[in-house]
Amino acid sequence: SAVISQKPSRDICQRGTSLTIQCQVDSQVTMMFWYRQQPGQSLTLIATANQGSEATYESGFVIDKFPISRPNLTFSTLTVSNMSPEDSSIYLCSVEALGAYEQYFGPGTRLTVT
């Protein structure tokens, strides 16, 4: 399985500001995913990030609010823009295992917006 790291692990931000979350993988992967987990809830897919193409966003998520970059096969960033308290969540990145369908997850970023 891949080893995935995320930075920062947690942050407290003021409303109206933006935060960029980094996701680093120890091997090259084709598909990376970004999820949001609101307090006490399950995981919801924000977008799929493939290298060399625009991210594909799920219903209810837009690029202006959650811009994503995928500059190479081992790295991606998710920015949460113009934050409000409703954005307080855990944000997780994941990668698809090569030749399989399961995903492996990073440790998550706990974001609190005040």
Q: Which of 38, 78, 87, 73 is CA-nearest to residue 57?
A: 78
Query: Could you say whether residue 105 binds another protein (CB under 8 A)?
Result: yes
Task: Give min distance, CB of 15 to another protein, in A.
Answer: 23
Task: Give phi and psi for 39, each to the nearest 5.
Answer: -50, 125
Task: Give min distance, CB of 75 to another protein, in A.
Answer: 20
Task: Give min distance, CB of 74 to another protein, in A.
Answer: 19
Residues contributing to the site for another protein (CB under 8 A): 1, 31, 33, 37, 41-45, 48, 58, 90, 92, 94, 96, 100-105, 107-108, 110
